[in-house]
């Protein structure tokens, strides 16, 4: 009983200490990259587990990753617009499992279809195109630091594309 009371008091103090600290500046959201999803309800695989509802978590996570990763790759004044037209996430949900886990196998490769346009500071189009990304060897990335984080394989596929497309140095 005393232990619970002490833990409760410590938790309250920690919460108050966090509130009393100077306000942290919010992270700056880059404005040189925009990402849109065209008809995400028709995407191959971005549904909530065991439903027909499109997962805003998956889309938001991938949008944020693309913006944060692509932004530093661009030159001064350049702007990149990406429109994602389909996503098939790495792995496959097996709906007969009690926890709706995503199974990773070589046959469940991540795929992304997108269009992009890179515009220079002068407003001229520097590069544009349609891409269909498929990573047949995505399972070779397993076991690396971070490979257990959500959407790791999908993020790495996007990172590889950005690096190849825009010559980024990692």
Q: pLDDT (tens digit, 9 = 90+) per residue, 2-58? A: 444 444 544 444 444 444 444 555 567 788 999 999 999 998 888 776 667 888 888
Q: Which tokens belong to 7?
A: 């833990």
Side-chain half-sphere exposure of 160, counting CA atoms within 13 A: 18
pTM of the model: 0.75
Position 19 in a domain: no
pLDDT of residue 10: 46
Position 54 in a domain: yes
The β-bridge partners of 128 are 117
Position 14 in a domain: no
Position 25 in a domain: no
**Nearest in space to 43 (alpha carbons), one of 136, 114, 115, 107:** 114
Position 160 in a domain: yes
Domain count, the chain: 1
Position 107 in a domain: yes
Position 13 in a domain: no
Q: What is the chain's Cα-based Rg?
A: 20
Q: Where in the sequence is the domain holding 114, given as residue range(s)?
A: 30-166
Percentage of the chain exceeding pLDDT 70: 66
Position 24 in a domain: no
């Amino acid at each position: 009983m005393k232990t619970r009371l002490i833990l409760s008091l410590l938790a309250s103090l920690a919460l108050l200490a966090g509130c009393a600290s100077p306000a942290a500046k919010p992270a700056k959201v880059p404005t040189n990259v925009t990402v849109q999803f065209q008809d995400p309800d028709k995407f191959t695989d971005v549904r909530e587990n065991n439903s027909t509802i499109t997962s805003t978590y998956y889309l938001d996570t991938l949008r944020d990753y693309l913006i944060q990763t692509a932004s530093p790759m661009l030159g001064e004044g350049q702007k990149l617009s990406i429109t994602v037209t389909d996503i098939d996430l790495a792995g496959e949900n097996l709906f007969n499992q009690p926890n709706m886990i995503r199974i990773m196998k070589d046959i469940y490769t991540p795929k992304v279809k997108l269009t992009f346009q890179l515009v220079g500071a002068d407003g001229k189009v520097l590069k544009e195109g349609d891409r269909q990304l498929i990573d047949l060897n995505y399972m070779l990335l397993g076991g690396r630091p971070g490979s257990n984080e959500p959407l790791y394989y999908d993020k790495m596929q996007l990172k590889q594309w950005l690096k190849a497309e825009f010559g980024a140095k990692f």
